[in-house]
Structure 1
Amino acid sequence: MTKTQGNDGRSRRLTPDTVVRAALDLLDEKGLEAVSSRAVADRLGVRMNTVLWHVKTKGRLLELMADAVMGEIPLDGLPGPWDERARDLTRRYRRALLAHRDGAALVIGTYPAEPHTLRFAETLVGTLLESGMDGREAAWNAWTIIYFTLGLTQEEQAPPHDLDGRLARAVTPASHPALHRVLEHLGGSFDERFEFGLSAILRTSG
């Protein structure tokens, strides 16, 4: 544990949690590309080596940030039936990702075996096992739910890219008849697409 000077001139203790909190604040303000050990050090008013003393590397910092995001998922008050519980867990997961700028991009780029991440995974996999799935089915369905949620949420958090407009200009009945037939359904509400995809996964899993 080290000390740094606060704005009031008094020293305050610097811990790994303090570093991660500062990094998450930086993420929310400026996005994932702005997060670095040096930027976090500047934010805290310390030298970069002080930050690295607590988190070792930028990769490790990102892992701890991702686990902190996972720690914001409440796991109490879940429904009893396994399928309703799986839905609620996944919705809570998505909300935690959306609560931070580039939250999905942060989590999708890390693979932390840390307490909060393992706690959520244990709850989700345990829920799927309760449905009667065998080990492989529960593990692979959990991955399917997680990858689907991360991918859709990352798209939702991406800068505007006018995909609907570009598709409308590129897709014609002659060039891409199948895509043209479903063109109006290729975009739309992220909430609706999330609920549809989650229902499809769980329906197949049941």
Structure 2
Amino acid sequence: MLLRKADVVEGALKFLDSEGLDGLTMRKLGAALNVHGGALYRHFPNKAALLEAMANKLTEGVGAPLPEAPWRDQIYVLGQRFRTAMLAHRDGARLVSGTHATGVNSITAGSLVVDVLCGAGLAPAQAGSLAFSLYYYVLGHTIDEQNQAYTPDEGWQNGEDQLESALSPQYAEAFGSLMNTDPAERFAYGLDTFIEGVASRIPPTPAAGRAVPGR
């Protein structure tokens, strides 16, 4: 059967789930797809190009049309969509962070964030900077979330034991709370806080009936 480009990407994402990002090579993927590794280069000139295509597939749907809602709710939806998309595959966040995110799905999602923020009253330059801040927050949180999923529990327990004896009680309590809070809850709290920070950057609109300078 003819191996299509889409087949390679789907196969690579399945390989990612089973072996992780560190185990992914063109040779191993070729073996998993029952083709010579060189056959993959007909579709992708190098591994970097394959990773870009995988990241683009992974973010499919993040930039789908948003529900009619206030801008805060729309940004919340976008942040949750992005996290959910990366959690769908092992090392998904590391995969996305290691690419240039130039695929159509990534660009569509980024454009949507900027459009929402501009609609809320921010200038394009501000909206762009805040869109990247949102991108970095979701990536960082999800990378840590997925790393913890593949870290032995005793490693975290040892860290908590050291904190109790070496650091301040406040920090030890904060760390313990962090480790015992559901990741989805931690993420939502941070996302809400980010959105509140964005709101503080939006210039107030003139009150109804108030004279606007220059008119």
TM-score computed with the length of structure 2 as normaliser: 0.83
Q: Does 1:165 align with 2:157?
A: yes
2-structure distance, mates of 1:24, 1:62: 10
Q: CA deviation at 1:189?
A: 1.3
1-structure distance, mates of 2:5, 2:198: 40
Q: Letter of the aligned partner of 1:52 in structure 2?
A: Y
Who is 1:93 aligned against? 82
Which structure 2 residue ranges, 5 or more long, are not aligned? 200-215
Q: CA deviation at 1:136?
A: 2.7
Who is 2:53 aligned against? 64
Which structure 1 residue ranges, 5 or more long, are not aligned? 1-11
Deviations 1:118-173 (A, max 9, x none): 11111111111111112232112111111111111111112124464233222247
Counterpart pick for 2:189 among 176, 192, 196? 196
Q: Percent identity?
A: 29
Aligned length: 195
Deviations 1:165-196 (A, max 9, x none): 23322224774354135343332211111011
2-structure distance, mates of 1:165, 1:75: 41
Who is 2:212 aligned against? none
TM-score computed with the length of structure 1 as normaliser: 0.86
- Secondary structure of the residue aligned to 2:2 is strand
Change (3 A) 1:34 1:181: closer
2-structure distance, mates of 1:181, 1:42: 48
- Secondary structure of the residue aligned to 1:55 is coil
Q: CA deviation at 1:17?
A: 1.4
Q: CA deviation at 1:13?
A: 2.4
Who is 2:209 aligned against? none
Q: Does 1:80 align with 2:37?
A: no
1-structure distance, mates of 2:39, 2:156: 47
